Structure formats: C-alpha cells, structure tokens
Amino acid sequence: MNENGTRILIVDDDEALLEALPEALQLRMNGIGIDVSESAQRALELIREVDYDAIVTDIKLPGMDGLTLLNEIKELRPGTPTLLITGHGEHDLAVQALRGGAYDFVQKPIDRDYFVASLERAIRVRRLDRQVEEQRRELERHARVLQHVDRGVFLVDDAGVIQFWNPAAAAITGLDPEQLVGRRADEALPGWDVVGPEVPVAMEPGPALLEVKTFPLEIDGRELWLSISGVRFEDGVVYAFRNLTEERALDELKSDFVATVSHELRTPLAAIYGCARTLLRRDLQLGDDDRARLLEVVAQESERLTRIVGDILLANQIDAGRLRLKDLEFDVAELVRAVVDEMEAALTGKEDIELELSAPESLPRVSGDEDKLRQVLLNLIDNAIKYSPDGGRVGIRVEQRDGGLQIAVSDEGLGIPYEEQQRIFGKFYRVDPQQTRGVGGTGLGLYISRELVRHMDGRVTVTSREGHGSTFVVDLPLLPITHREQAVISQPA
Ligand code: ADP
C-alpha cells in the first residue's frame, strides 16, 4: 500500500508507547505521516485542523476518556475511522466503543501485525470513502450543469431503467422526472420501444462520432419531433435530444406554401396566357364580342392573382406583427349590404346560388376598420359560394347583440368534417380537395379572417354538418359610437 500523503493521529498518555508505536509504524508503513498527542484536548485541536486518514486512541485518557473522545471525533469528522487501544480484559469497554462507531480495537500488549493490518484496512476504507464522496460531488456538479442545458438529457442504465431526466427534457416532453425516473424507458416513454433501438449511440463522447437522427414521439396526443443521439458510458447510455417540432412544422408550412401557392397561381396564369395567345392569333377571325369575353377573362383572372398575392402579403404582415387596424366611424349595415351586392354581381353564371341578407333596417354607426371587416365578409361569403358546388341558399344575418355585433354566414354546401373544423383556420390548411370536389384555394382565407377578427377583439366560430352545410359566426365587440362616447364621458376623471 502506498502511504504517500497518508496521515494518522495517535493519542495516548503513555509516553513510551507514543515513541515506540510511531517508530514501528514508520518501518512498516513507508512514508506515513504520524502526529501524536498525549491528551484528548490537544488531539481535538489537531483533528479540527487536519482531516486524518485514521485516528488511534487509548480508551483511557486523563481528563477525557477514549469513548467521549470517540463521540467528539464522530461529530467533527464522521468519516474518519478510529481505532481504540484497550487494556487487557476491557472487553465491555471495547464492545461499547464498537457500538459507538469505533472502526476496530486492539488490545494491549499490542499485536503489531494485527494492528498494522487493521490500520491499513482503515486507511484504505477512508480513501475509498473519499473517492466515493469526490465522485458523488462530481456527479452532483454534472447534474447541476445538466439542469441548465437547453437540451433534453436523460440516462438509461444497462437494465433499461431511466436514472436521470433533466428539466429541459421535462419542459420539452411535458413528462416529469417523478413519472419516469426508476421506470423502464420502453414502458414509461411512449414509443421508446420502437424508437430506442434506432437511436445512434456512440461508444465514446466526441462531436465527430455523434450521429443524430430525428424521430417522432407521440406524447399525450402531441406529436413531438426529436433529434436524438446517445453516448455509451460504463453503466448505460446518456441520451441528448433537441425539439425539432417547430422547425419541422415550419418546413411543412414552407412546402405547403410552395405547393398551394404555385398551384393556385398556375390556374389564373394559364387562363390569362390562353386568352392572350388566342387574341394574338391572326388566323382567327374574332368578333368584338369574342374579344370582349376573352379580355373579361384576363381581367377576372388578373384580379384573382392580385387577391392571392394580397392574401400572402397580408398573412405575412399578420405573422410579422405588423398589422395595424384603423379606427374610423362606419355603418355596418351599409357595409354588409355593399358586400352582398358585390358578391351578387360576381355570381353571373351561378344561377343556382341564392344570396339572402337579413339585417335590421338600421344599425348604430360603429368605429373600427371597415376595409378589414369587408375582407372577412368577402372571404366567408366567397367560401360559402365556393363550397356549395350544387348551389343552394347562402344566408347572411346581421344582429345587434349585447355589447357587440354578430354576423353569421351560412350555406347549404359540402359542410366540413368534424375533425377538420378547427384545423381549417390554420395557415395554408385546406381540406383534402377530394373531399371538396377539387374546389381551389390557398388555405389562407380563414386564417386571415380569424386573425383580422382577433385583432378586432372578436372571434370567428364554425358549426357544420358534413353534406348539409356550414355556418361561420363572427362576434365583434363593436360599440356603437353613441355608447362609446357615453362610456368615455361616464369614466371618472
Ligand atoms: P381556401 O378556401 O382557400 O382553401 P380557407 O382558409 O378559406 O382556404 O378555407 C380552408 C378550408 O376550409 C377550405 O379548404 C375548405 O375545405 C374549408 N371551408 C372553408 N369554408 C367552407 C365552407 N363554407 N364550407 C365547406 N368547407 C369550407
């Protein structure tokens, strides 16, 4: 055993022993540091200063007996092993000492072989203790660091049991360490039985070795996309993951955007191109009427293109938080009537659609953004007509409600499957065209409508039965001008 750096204390009032014992120990335990003390008081002073690897003390000392000293040592240095020297026949005292936490005892006259062996063992135990303590502190330090990283980190031991789950892992997945630690990963982590074996695990740490893969995990009905990799260590695997759900959603949004928009732009462009080419042909004898019809198509389709581009820009403005609403006085009844007239005029060729407006003769004037409300109404009525391919009645009802206004647009068209009714307000979201008989669109109309109404502190809701039609209701807290003024006047100064 290498005694370098080892330091022990011997406490005894027997001067002869205090000289002989250290000498004998120095011979047998090369390089060991030995302090001596004749009294318990002095010993305690030394113990306070030095963290000894072991302490040897006579059980009988003047002033304070060895047992009391033992108790004091336990208080001051609970980890330091203490060996007691007992007199011949002091068995009871020895047993008491062991009960009191002594490491071992040696009887006088001291059997040196036994003594040295016991002391060496004590020192070894103390060293191991210190190593364990150091490792524990190290682990705590690591754990503290892991508490603060933004990546989810967890540890699965060789038995497949989760031993650690950091706060970022909890925040990303919504699963608490209490739910997971101590349980098998393939049972406690949804989908881990399938994903776990697929995760790349490096044999040693190092960025070059780390391959990362992205997997979906469904947790509490939420689909999470996690990019995850593992590193093997002695007792298991440490996994680290990042949440890619939003990036992935963004990627999907981008490809949705490209797919829908390019498709939606192509149709009017093709029509415009076709008309232009026809108008350019010299071999065709086009009459004025034909020319006018073709030009009308060009005008209409250009308008459609302008609307699509306008929607994209507006959605972008909303997303960037750059939407500003006007607050000007206007007449809602007049606005709704104008929108219905406009839609009616655009219905030429769709005789099977009937627009029906029901609104009170007069409504109080309100303050708000008339253009944006017009856009919402145009979107909803346009949808009601678009998604009624077999025709039917489209009803627009305006009512004054407590503290606000309600506008409902209902149709007798295709209706919307229940599970789609919330999704249709999502950006670029469109119900599968097969279910909507191929009706075209960008999936922006309802997103924009809901956002505009939200900016007006109102809300849009939908009720619908598949195959029977839908009703979209806009509730707006539009205060009539008179009320507003009264409200301002009645506010205490
Ligand atoms: P777009 O009509 O351009 O596809 P919207 O955001 O206006 O986009 O609508 C999203 C989806 O909601 C549509 O694809 C359609 O499936 C559905 N939808 C909207 N309004 C109606 C309606 N009145 N009847 C049936 N389905 C509708």
H helical segments located in 325-365: 332-345
d(C-alpha 119, C-alpha 96), whole Å: 20
67-85 burial: b if 16+ Cβ within 10 Å, else e: bebbebbeeebeebbbbbb
Q: Which of 403, 410, 444 is nearest to 316 (CA)?
A: 444
H or E segment to which residue 93 belongs: helix 91-99
Does the CB atom of residue 387 touch ligand 1 within 6 A?
Answer: yes
Q: Which helix (DSSP H) or strand (DSSP E) does residue 198 occupy?
A: none
3-state SS assignment for residue 95: helix
Q: Please check whether residue 50 is in contact with residue 35, taking contact to mean a CB–CB distance below 8 angstroms.
A: yes
Cβ(384)–Cβ(470) below 8 Å: yes
What's the gap in Å between 379 CA and the centre of ligand 1?
9
Domain 248-320 bears CATH identifier 1.20.1740.10: no
Q: Would you say the CB of residue 435 lies under 6 angstroms from ligand 1?
A: no
Name the token pair of 478. Answer: 């539009």
Pocket test for ligand 1, best of 387, 396, 412 (most atoms within 8 A of CB): 387
Distance (Å) of CA 429 to CA 37, 263, 381, 432: 85, 14, 18, 9
Tell me how far apart the alpha carbons of residues 439 and 443 are, in angstroms, rounded to a whole number. 11
For residue 99 the two structure tokens come to 């009960």
Closest CA to 29 of 123, 116, 128: 116
Q: With beta carbons less than 8 A apart as the criterion, state whether 81 and 55 touch.
A: yes
DSSP state of 281: -
Q: What is the token pair recorded at 429?
A: 């979201």
Q: Quote the pLDDT of residue 347.
A: 85
Gap between the Cα atoms of 403 and 366, Å rounded: 11
> Based on the number of CB atoms within 10 Å of its own CB, is 345 exposed (0-12), middle (13-18) or buried (19 or more)?
exposed
Q: Which amino acid is at 49?
A: E
At 3 the pLDDT is 47
Interacting residues of 31 by C-beta distance below 8 A, sequence separation 6+: 2, 3, 4, 6
**Beta bridge mates, 224:** 217
Q: Check if the beta carbon of residue 437 is closer than 8 Å to that of residue 443.
A: no
Kindly give the number of the ligand 1 atom that is closest to the alpha carbon of 442.
Answer: 3
Tell me the CA–centroid distance for residue 383 and ligand 1, in Å.
Answer: 6
Q: Please tell me the distance between residue 256's alpha carbon and the centre of ligand 1 in angstroms.
A: 15
Sign of CA dihedral 416, 421, 427, 432: negative
Q: Residue ranges of the chain with pLDDT lower than 50?
A: 1-3, 484-493
Which of the listed residues 312, 431, 442, 448 should we mutate to test ligand 1's pocket, taking the one with most ligand atoms within 8 A of CB?
431
Predicted pLDDT of residue 482: 55
Determine the topology of domain 151-243 in CATH: Beta-Lactamase (3.30.450)
Of 424, 425, 462, the residue with max ligand 1 atoms within 8 A of its CB, to mutate for a pocket test, comes to 424
Question: How far lies 161's CA from each of 100, 167, 234, 478, in Å?
Answer: 39, 18, 14, 58
User: Could you tell me the two tokens for 479?
Assistant: 């205060």
CA angle (270, 276, 279) in 5-degree steps = 140
Fold agreement between 151-243 and 324-489 = no
CATH number for the region 324-489 comes to 3.30.565.10
| CA-nearest residue, atom 12 of ligand 1 | 424
Q: pTM for the whole thing?
A: 0.57
In this structure, which CATH number among 2.60.260.40, 3.60.20.10, 3.40.50.2300, 3.90.1640.30 belongs to the domain 7-144? 3.40.50.2300
Per-residue H/E/C for 130-176: HHHHHHHHHHHHHHHHHHHCCCEEEEEECCCEEEEECHHHHHHHCCC
Is 448's C-beta closer than 6 angstroms to any atom of ligand 1?
Answer: no
Residue 384 CB–ligand 1 contact under 6 Å:
yes
| Ligand 1: centre distance to CA 405 (Å) | 23
Kindly list the domain boundaries of the chain, sorted by start residue.
Answer: 7-144, 151-243, 248-320, 324-489
